[in-house]
Amino acid sequence: MSLLNNAIDSAWITFDCPLCGLENECQVRQLSLGEIIRCRGCHESIQLIDSDAGSVLAKRQIENVMRDFQNIFKRHG
């Protein structure tokens, strides 16, 4: 599943700057690590916070679904 993890971590997501409202983007990996990025509009620093661990939970759910698909294909293929 490491290829899947890499694909998820490399995926881009968008969010609005809390100060100016301009849409910005980051990779899931950056969100998971709580990195600081600069807004492309107002250039203020934005601390990325995954307060409810949503990115980690979403990755686990995707991994579980992919594992289920693999098991289905193994049984019927």
Structure pTM? 0.73
Structure confidence by residue, pLDDT tens digits, 13-67: 999 999 999 999 999 999 989 999 999 999 999 999 988 877 788 888 888 888 8
Q: How many CA atoms lie within 13 A of 53 on its CB side?
A: 4
Domain borders along the chain are 2-71
Of the chain, the end-to-end C-alpha distance in Å amounts to 20
Q: In 57-72, which positions are buried (b, 16+ CB within 10 angstroms) versus exposed (e)? A: eebeeeeeeeeeeeee
* CA 19/CA 73 separation, integer angstroms: 48
Using an 8 Å Cβ cutoff, are 42 and 19 in contact? yes
